[in-house]
Amino acid sequence: MATHPGGLTAPGATALAHPAVRTRKLVRRFGDRDILKELDLTVAPGEFTALLGRSGSGKSTLLRAVARLDHTVEGSGELTVPDRVSLSFQDSRLLPWLRLIDNVTLGLRGPGARERGLTALAEVGLEGRDRSWPHELSGGEQQRAALARALVREPELLLADEPFGALDALTRIKMHDLLRELYERHRPAVLLVTHDVDEAVELADRVLVLEDGRISVDLTVDLPTPRSRRDPRFQEYRDTLLTALGVTQPQPLTEAKKDSR
């Protein structure tokens, strides 16, 4: 795997005996449009991967396929995912008629489920809010609860589709820190769909770009965490990805142009 800014590897080249996610020749089709075109992807256990791509490129389609939420969609190909998979979406999807603790532990079996729920709530900074109703929480708090619900199951794979997309900038920054902290403690494999290049470079150790139904860019982010957006190497990764996404970078003004302004 390449480890320098701009170092791109052949997509799906990782050979692993027990990957967290493995797709081979994955096809998903809506009508006569192939959205995923024989897509090959391997995610290692414990690997934090972000998935970027232009709007409509098929990021959510891929995530839904990996989550096995698309039984009715036409398609083909091989898909391997672990048993314990948790999901997190832009809206927290908490059930309004259940208190927080019951939302977090819903479907959790075995002794100690409640204790585990309380621990998870404490981990996301919601200690003492277990008896609250979802509508009593702010948007950021609801996303924290959704993270607690995802992590209490100790997933081998966390699938997250724009989980912070609806949050304000400040809350988003706090949630980035929290997600990275929780990831480092629990170490699930993560597949994070995002539109935000900075979010991808800040959080993920590997960033993919989906284009024309396949993974077109597979970039390893070799920066220590926590990452600073001011770090020139951060900016190199960012520029590489923006270029891959077809976003032209503003050129620095030359002295001549500055003078003529």
Q: Which residues bind ligand ATP (CB under 6 A)?
A: 30, 35, 53, 55-61, 195
Decide if 81 contacts 42 (C-beta within 8 A).
no
| Least separation in angstroms between CB 35 and ligand ATP | 5
| Least separation in angstroms between CB 179 and ligand ATP | 19
Decide if 127 contacts 141 (C-beta within 8 A).
no
C-beta closer to ligand ATP: residue 73 or 173: 73
Give the Cα separation of 65 and 211 in Å (integer): 17
Point out which residues pair with 207 in neighbouring strands. Answer: 50, 219
| Least separation in angstroms between CB 29 and ligand ATP | 9
**Greatest C-alpha distance within the chain:** 73
Tokens of 78: 């091989």
C-beta closer to ligand ATP: residue 24 or 195: 195
C-beta closer to ligand ATP: residue 5 or 58: 58
| Least separation in angstroms between CB 63 and ligand ATP | 8
C-beta closer to ligand ATP: residue 100 or 207: 207
Three-class secondary structure of residue 36 per DSSP: strand
Q: Could you tell me where the DSSP H helices lie in the chain?
A: 59-66, 100-105, 113-123, 139-151, 169-186, 197-203, 232-244, 255-259
Burial 19-51 (b: 16+ CB within 10 A, else e): bbbbbeebbbbeeeebbbeebbbbbbeebbbbb
| Least separation in angstroms between CB 132 and ligand ATP | 30
| Least separation in angstroms between CB 158 and ligand ATP | 18
C-beta closer to ligand ATP: residue 42 or 57: 57
C-beta closer to ligand ATP: residue 56 or 252: 56
| Least separation in angstroms between CB 40 and ligand ATP | 18
Decide if 20 contacts 44 (C-beta within 8 A).
yes
Query: Burial, 52: exposed, middle or buried (Cβ in 10 Å; 0-12, 13-18, 19+)?
Result: buried
Decide if 38 contacts 77 (C-beta within 8 A).
yes
C-beta closer to ligand ATP: residue 55 or 251: 55
